Amino acid sequence: MPYYSLPSRAEIKQYLLKRGVKREKLKDNLDRARNHFFESQEMLSKDDEWREGAGILCLTPYNDNLLMWSHYGDQHKGVCLGFDVALPFDEIFGAGYDVEYSETYPQIPVLRMEELLVDSLNGYKNIDGYDDVVTKQFYTKAECWSYEQEIRFLRPALAHGVGSMPFPAIKLREVILGCNIEESDRIKTMNLVKKNFPHAKILQSKMEEKYYKVKYEEIAEVEKC
């Protein structure tokens, strides 16, 4: 959840001058502008609909993170899917960036949002400014999650937003079986992969004998149940 900060009195004056307000008219327009920005702050803080409608796909470039296997891989009983993705934009998964980790909520100046809106209405696309706002909105998480080293893909509501994300079979590069996976799940998963993703590698994970690490061995033959 971002924090929308109000502009100072001096910043509002500079903004009004930039927009063509005469100096002798500043005093008449200052209070009106401050009220406008205050209302904008309230509206932005309460309007979660467009954020909640956006779909997010969370990936990581590291498949050997023990915490990730424990938290998201059902205590090593699940699987890890490896995808081929393009950064910063993938034609299937959308815009993807490294997540930024912070101790505080991202701060987005209300004045900056206003400037981007005015630029857009005037036909000027400020790509850098827009990217900065989107990054703070969707690509910031609490510092305690930094071990994930997440790469996050965003799919806006206009592009179907939240929900399942179908992908071409060729995008799946590999499937890693957890070291504690049930034998029935192991066989079922291997048969499913070979049938629908014959190009994808199947790897079996095992714990190292002397280290807190996992290692992987490729499975060449698939057992059928």
Q: Cα angle vertex 191, ends 187, 193, to 5°? A: 120
Helix (H) or strand (E) holding 213: none
Q: What is the pLDDT of residue 222?
A: 59
Least confident of 119-133, 158-172, 195-209: 119-133
Backbone angles phi, psi at 89, to 5 degrees: -140, 130
Q: Is the pLDDT of residue 158 over 90?
A: no
Least confident of 81-85, 132-136, 221-225: 221-225
pTM of the full structure: 0.72
Q: Is the pLDDT of residue 145 over 90?
A: yes
Q: Interhelix angle for 9-18 vs 110-121, to 10°?
A: 10
Chain mean pLDDT for the chain = 83
Q: What is the pLDDT of residue 161?
A: 63
Mean pLDDT value across residues 26-42: 77
171 or 131: which leads in pLDDT: 171
Rounded CA separation 86/153 (Å):
10
Q: Is the pLDDT of residue 86 over 60?
A: yes
Q: Is the pLDDT of residue 167 over 70?
A: yes
26 or 219: which leads in pLDDT: 219
Rounded CA separation 225/220 (Å):
16
Token pair 């990217």 in the structure block, residue: 131
Mean pLDDT value across residues 118-145: 70
Q: Is the pLDDT of residue 61 over 80?
A: yes
Give CB contacts under 8 A, 24+ apart, made by 162-166. 162/52, 162/53, 162/54, 162/55, 163/55, 165/55, 165/57, 165/92, 165/93
Going by pLDDT thresholds of 50, 70 and 90, the confidence category of residue 14 is confident
